[in-house]
Amino acid sequence: MVGQLLSTSFVPALLGVYEDCAWVGLVFEDLDGHTPAVPWNAAELEAAMTALQHMAREFTPSPVPHLASVTSSYATVFAGWERIRVEPPTDLDPWSRHHLDDFCRLASRGLARLGGDSLLHADIRADNLLIRTDGTVAVVDWPWACIGAAWFDQLLLCVNVDLYGG
């Protein structure tokens, strides 16, 4: 199944696998291309978003169902407001202190909305995307793959664009 998954147009082809008791090694095709420019330009952003939209459709439901859920993977991140509520920093501004219960409630609702049955990369940013010479995009470096809402990788791309401009 993984070999079929990795033969899509937006993921480099899996060429070989090495596995022993301690290590697993994967060999992928070598692709010509470059990482997107930052700040992002319109053509590369459109190509990246198109690849992620196709990926969301093709990977729903996930062809690799045994992965962790994005909600379990991101639970610690979304619990940040709860940690602040329990131990607020001494320099926390009064407005934030007053709204900590609201922030905790919103974080809990947000985490719940990440649930789904799509295969996610879950670490989409410019250095995990490769713009091929034909302008299409390959998504590389998948150590945080998980299962969740089909739109999540697209949201992560938007965060990266916001962070680096575009």
Answer yes or no: are the C-beta atoms of 148 and 122 closer than 8 Å: yes
Instruction: Give pLDDT tens digits for 115-125.
Output: 999 999 999 99
CATH architecture, range 2-74+114-164: Orthogonal Bundle (1.10)
Other beta carbons less than 10 A from residue 8's beta carbon: 17
pLDDT of 25 reads 83
pLDDT of 92 reads 97
- For the chain, which residues score pLDDT lower than 70? 1-7
Phi and psi at residue 19, to the nearest 5°: -145, 130
**Prediction pTM value:** 0.86
Would you list the DSSP string of 103-139? HHHHHHHHHHHT--SEEE----SGGGEEEETTS-EEE
pLDDT of 1 reads 41
What is the phi-psi region of residue 68: left when phi exceeds 0, alpha when psi lies from -120 to 50, beta otherwise? beta
pLDDT of 7 reads 55
Residue 110 tokens, joined:
């947000």
User: Could you give the residue ranges of the DSSP H alpha helices within the chain?
Assistant: 2-5, 42-58, 70-73, 75-78, 80-86, 94-98, 100-113, 152-164
42-76 core/surface letters (b: 16 or more CB in 10 A; e: else):
eebbebbbebbeebbeebeebeeeebebbbebbee
Q: Angle CA(61)–CA(10)–CA(28) in degrees, nearest 5?
A: 105
Answer yes or no: are the C-beta atoms of 107 and 79 closer than 8 Å: yes
pLDDT of 26 reads 81
* Domain residue ranges of the chain, discontinuous segments joined by +: 2-74+114-164, 75-113
- Cross-strand partners of 24: 19
